[in-house]
A and B are shown apart, each in its own frame.
Chain A
């Protein structure tokens, strides 16, 4: 496993640990910040893939990440605005942001097949980790029923993305 994948897993593992250490899950304002950051990180990576990849499948995947995560973020922001929940920064959101920035910095050093493989590998790990966080931390911790419902509603987006990322990973592996 590559260092970056390990880093991504470590971030999400740290999420669970940090939450457990507090004795309780993240608050709704913290969940809001985590959701927005998680989407933004993947929008940024998607934009880079759209611009840099020479592989049509990878570019289309990147475009889908931008479209879908932008849509999810719009829905999330609309809801928290309506609920008067102000996203509150927290260690999980911070480490997600840092992980995202490191991923982009690493991807920028790569070209061609190496770029595609690194991007897609990271997308697989990232979506697995986010689904895990949604299931084990975010949904169980959400207090507001509408926020919880939104998390339940957007979860399949991450599953669909993971499915497609794994398909591409297999395809790229054969190239």
Chain B
């Protein structure tokens, strides 16, 4: 585990525990002073549903996860105040991490407990101290009520997402911004939905007696479980598919390599390595999540055209005249033909099409675009591929440091200087090459 991550995890854990202790000791939040039987029953209700929901973990695309439990913790914060809500969150987190999902490392449990407690206390401070809410009195009648609800929910989830994304970024040594943006597409609507459920639950719980009579809590539990299960189910399907797709591309990429190169061991894994390097460099540049993803997929697939030449590709009339006459097409072009029919993958197909173009060459063959039109992702792939060839190819594979120097020499002729720069930065961040050497290389570009 990187040192920065270790320090961060311990800081969050300690801060969280101190916050709970401090709130317990000094907090003049109302929930504390009126511990009675009904409060106890309420707390047990939220604890039980919170434990149930906390088991529904939705993994995020870029690592980390969102717990559905926050819908209940938020409702509990509105009904019973932040201190009891933090306590419920802490207990529910312990329940899932220690009892349900055994084997979660101790420091992770502590971290989860810590950031949940901090997030709830921050949201509580917004709701009660900053915007003057009263414990158990959830209303939606004025603009101020709305501001309280929206503001505290925003603080809760922003704090929660940031804590988790920061840990993911430190663990994967990826830029925080890129992890945040990569996850945001999925997490923001999910959190908004969870906040909505939390609000509904709070209002219904507060009015359950009047509305539904003695067994109202059963009904409220239904409002909690039904929508969140649906959320959980949909997200799970999506995330699983995501993971499966990635794995499929890796499998197929290895399969194609085995078919093309036979027993040449060093060729195996080339696609996967190019994908990883190019995607990491793209993250380094702060490209959007979609772009990073497309570059990664294109990395897996960039040599697909070497596998075979489907006959319809050869005689479909799309190829430039001289290529058709010679009967030979570049493998990149063939790869493009194979991939371009796949829905949603057209951008990936374009990246594959141009990944083997030299940077300094103008219009390539007839009908091909000029330099400006070649997508930057293809440039990144070219650098990643060149690097992998340099460090793996027999008979004389280079050391990473020497390969990096070679890339710098080739920047401007074979390779795009901007892409090389991003790649070198990535090598430094991933500690593949010593940081000082990377700085020298960057100065030389």
Does chain A bind chain B?
no
